[in-house]
Structure 1
């Protein structure tokens, strides 16, 4: 049995579907679709040096990696690699080959500090530590049964607040970009992110194939976007995922993010979606409390590992 690592072939639909299948088997708490995987390859900013890799054993895709520089961070030299191998195809050398290929690519383009998310399971953590990575912060994956669970009742917006969908601002999504940029800067993370290029955001985020503009909900206060909840959906599987929820600094403490997300979840259930997914840093107490209020339950935890090169 021979394992090789190569770049994903985006024009080969079977190859992309195999990539998505491995990701889903290894990490079922995130939406993985072929169209989303191809979109990332085609539209991630060139400065990210983004690559999608596969590990192939005798013609079968058994492992995957997504690799990039944190080009939108104010701190240079940071690289991101996320390695996932089919759970029934581990211990065949695929993970190690993917790590080595990813590290060489990132080092070649100036990365000196590498970050990787690792599921909080003994075998996965041992793998990361054997490759020189040390554990850092953690984050939870959470799940909500939309079909059978009970959502909090819908609430009427208070005076001066209006709920709109992202589809309502399709003619000019720049205010949503500005809200996304402000709230993302305040997200707990090892790698700070700054959205500064509107056109890049349009290509990467606004045109993302999983973005559901009808279910993405924005709370406007006297005409100004104040809070939002971004919805990704995969109607073929009935799954809904919250990609981002946040509130502009000037409007925090008023329950606006909860209001927007509640409206989105109710409309998602009405549309026939059956499962809602999200994720939160363990240090993000306010959002964890909101999701507990909705009825989400923790279904897995991942740990951010870091390695400094040379």
Structure 2
């Protein structure tokens, strides 16, 4: 039978689990659960025109694509498209069908520049380049063994600084939003992003099912958050850092190391055995921090870009 492309049904746990299963197989360094897949579909901003697609072969989900408009970018006409095919089902045309269908969707929504992350492997890069995508920046997936590895000892908390968790801000998360919005402005990337919608941030970030507020450590000084590391967990033994940032006024004081070390120590105590994170290869300061923790490169991605006709 031939490969069939269809939309993910937003009320189908089976579709969501199939989508997550392909993601875990294709990129084991990223957290994906059926719950998180359905949450993303139902909570992403409508201006993103987010459209997850599935590739099926004989009734089995073998590939996925996420595509959408970068609605939070000050630059119009930007979009994203990420294709993943299960390693056991490559070279059957699923990736090409997924990409072509998603590109048509984005073009209809006014997207002219499409960005796509591709694993830095010859077969994957050749796939992108055959479709007229050109390579741009690179990023590393990093892995830390919390079960067998060692963490740096916990450092004393500086005078005037207090460590809390995101759970302490449950009644009023706005200070966390303001810090996140400031930090994202300095995050390396091809598509600049601006967080200016507090209600949407609550919907797609603060309430995300993978966000573990109890393991998200926040440094507070002068009554406000000044550094944080956002922890995500899959409900099992896997942990991922979604973001680590420090307010511009408090950089250079070692607070990124402080909050991340605290979170990793508590994650290990909670039974987490693997920790993941990702860094742009040009983000030398954060790469140095993660090397200090003992993270090792698990894989590299290349950011590809294509101008739609």
TM-score (norm. length: structure 2): 0.99
Unaligned runs of 5+ in 2: none
What is the CA–CA distance in structure 2 between the aligned matches of 1:59 and 1:9, rounded to whole Å?
A: 14
Q: CA deviation at 1:10?
A: 2.5
Counterpart residue number, 1:76:
76
Unaligned runs of 5+ in 1: none
What secondary structure, in the 3-state scheme, does the structure 2 residue paired with 1:302 have? strand
Tell me, yes or no, if structure 1 residue 201 matches structure 2 residue 187.
Answer: no
What secondary structure, in the 3-state scheme, does the structure 1 residue paired with 2:20 have? helix
What secondary structure, in the 3-state scheme, does the structure 1 residue paired with 2:52 have? strand
Counterpart residue number, 2:39:
39
| 1:76-113 CA distance string (max 9 Å, x none) | 10010000001110111100000011000000000000
Task: Describe how 1:274-289 pairs up with structure 2 within 5 A.
Answer: 274-289=273-288
Task: Describe how 1:21-170 pairs up with structure 2 within 5 A.
Answer: 21-170=21-170
What is the CA–CA distance in structure 1 between the aligned matches of 2:17 and 2:70, rounded to whole Å?
A: 26
Counterpart residue number, 2:306:
307
| 1:194-229 CA distance string (max 9 Å, x none) | 000000000000000000000001111121211100
What is the CA–CA distance in structure 2 between the aligned matches of 1:305 and 1:295, rounded to whole Å?
A: 29
Counterpart residue number, 1:259:
258
Counterpart residue number, 1:295:
294
Q: CA deviation at 1:16?
A: 1.2
Q: CA deviation at 1:4?
A: 1.2
What is the CA–CA distance in structure 1 between the aligned matches of 2:277 and 2:191, rounded to whole Å?
A: 20
Contact 1:235 / 1:273 at 8 angstroms: preserved in 2? no
Contact 1:7 / 1:54 at 8 angstroms: preserved in 2? yes
What is the CA–CA distance in structure 1 between the aligned matches of 2:223 and 2:147, rounded to whole Å?
A: 34
What secondary structure, in the 3-state scheme, does the structure 2 residue paired with 1:51 have? coil
Which deviates more, 227-236 or 299-308?
A: 227-236
What is the CA–CA distance in structure 2 between the aligned matches of 1:309 and 1:16, rounded to whole Å?
A: 29
| 1:2-47 CA distance string (max 9 Å, x none) | 1111101122211211111111100100000001000110000000
What secondary structure, in the 3-state scheme, does the structure 2 residue paired with 1:200 have? helix
Runs of 4 or more consecutive aligned structure 1 residues displaced over 6 Å after TM superposition:
none
What secondary structure, in the 3-state scheme, does the structure 2 residue paired with 1:32 have? coil
What is the CA–CA distance in structure 1 between the aligned matches of 2:257 and 2:4, rounded to whole Å?
A: 47
Counterpart residue number, 1:214:
214
| 1:120-162 CA distance string (max 9 Å, x none) | 0000000000001000000000000011110000112110000
Counterpart residue number, 1:17:
17
Q: CA deviation at 1:235?
A: 2.6
What secondary structure, in the 3-state scheme, does the structure 1 residue paired with 2:288 have? helix
Q: CA deviation at 1:275?
A: 0.3
What is the CA–CA distance in structure 1 between the aligned matches of 2:9 and 2:112, rounded to whole Å?
A: 28
Q: CA deviation at 1:60?
A: 1.0
